[in-house]
């Protein structure tokens, strides 16, 4: 894939700059404003960047630099994640040192995230196209200090839910574990990645290694994990858009020691109908149980299992 230099990207950002929004017209009407008591409470700051914007990050914030660009180049590459559509053209203006860590496409819309490290500061570069790559909107974020590492596809989990014809996109970022601790922060955008706001820090709420995040609608979501020392299945649920999380109890079948959970999947035409796969592990076998719901995940019924 043809990529421009960092200097060329910076000049593109400067020439096509549009003002970054705070992501909410009414502070009380959007769930992303729920955690304003957290550090800064937002991922983005207003104001145009200077030419060294990617090199000089302000500690504790993500400077959200947004521009619109146009390209008709059909860039195809190998598939690093299962979430991207192979034949969707990627943006041509990605820096050479950036690595794609997320991709997703639905019809004419495409969303991509790249990880970069400049001057010891970790950044995420996001791109959104509404028209199969003819035009792109892009943002560059500098990560919070406790997430200041080069992100990989194992550190990022994305969920989307459409409300009133509008996409809401959650990103859960995790750090690599250090001294048994792992930072886990959930962010939300309702403007196609133009800006993000911190919803909640779930570092001390979600135990284990995150395996995925799902939202059935704007309020009901799940974080799935793997945790071998747990006496419960590590499945966490929110009913208020990610502001708070609670362990959703699912009993471990007799004879098994723990369960590894995959994120629930919901019917695109009916958010109340979904399925949940859990791999239960004993000393002698691993067995996957499938659960279903008809009430948006309020209850999960065990339907069958397979070896």
pLDDT in tens, 136-167: 999 988 888 889 888 999 999 999 998 788 89
pLDDT at 194 (0 to 100): 87
pLDDT surpasses 50 at 37 = no
Average pLDDT of the segment spanning 218-245:
92
Residue 156 near residue 113 (C-beta atoms within 8 A): yes
d(CA 101, CA 149): 14
**SS3 state of residue 131:** coil
pLDDT at 80 (0 to 100): 36
**Buried residues in 228-246 as b, exposed as e (16+ CB within 10 A):** eebeebbbbbbeebbbebe
Encoding tokens for residue 62?
A: 């993500």
d(CA 96, CA 174): 24
pLDDT surpasses 60 at 299 = yes
pLDDT surpasses 60 at 30 = no
pLDDT surpasses 60 at 36 = no
pLDDT at 87 (0 to 100): 83
Considering only residues 165 and 263, tell me which one the structure prediction assigns the higher pLDDT: 263
pLDDT at 237 (0 to 100): 97
Residues 176-229 pLDDT 10s: 987 668 999 999 999 999 888 999 999 999 998 999 999 998 999 999 998 887
Pairing of strands 184-189, 197-201: antiparallel
């Amino acid at each position: 894939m043809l990529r421009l230099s960092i200097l060329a990207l910076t000049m593109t950002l400067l020439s096509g700059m549009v003002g970054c929004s705070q992501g909410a017209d009414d502070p009380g009407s959007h769930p992303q404003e729920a955690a304003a008591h957290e550090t800064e409470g937002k991922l983005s700051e207003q104001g145009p960047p200077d030419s060294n914007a990617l090199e000089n990050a302000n500690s504790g914030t993500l400077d959200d630099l947004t521009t619109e660009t146009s390209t008709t180049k059909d860039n195809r590459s190998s598939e690093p994640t299962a979430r991207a559509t192979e034949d969707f053209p990627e943006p041509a203006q990605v820096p050479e040192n950036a690595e794609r860590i997320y991709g997703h496409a639905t019809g004419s819309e495409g969303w991509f995230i790249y990880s970069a490290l400049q001057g010891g500061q970790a950044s995420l570069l996001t791109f959104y196209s509404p028209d199969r790559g003819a035009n792109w909107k892009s943002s560059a974020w500098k990560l919070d200090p406790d997430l200041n590492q080069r992100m990989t596809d194992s550190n990022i989990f994305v969920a989307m839910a459409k409300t009133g014809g509008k996409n809401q996109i959650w990103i859960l970022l995790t750090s690599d574990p250090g001294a048994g601790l792992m930072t886990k922060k959930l962010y939300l955008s309702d403007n196609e990645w133009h800006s993000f706001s911190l919803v909640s820090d779930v570092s001390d709420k979600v135990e284990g290694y995150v395996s995925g995040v799902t939202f059935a609608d704007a309020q009901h979501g799940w974080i799935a994990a793997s945790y071998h020392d747990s006496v419960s299945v590590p499945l966490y649920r929110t009913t208020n858009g990610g502001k708070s999380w609670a362990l959703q109890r699912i009993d471990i079948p007799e004879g098994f020691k723990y369960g590894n959970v995959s994120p629930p999947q919901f019917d695109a035409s009916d958010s109340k109908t979904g399925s949940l796969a859990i791999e239960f592990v004993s000393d002698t076998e691993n067995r996957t149980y499938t659960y279903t719901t008809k009430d948006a995940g309020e209850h999960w019924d065990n339907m069958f299992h397979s070896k």
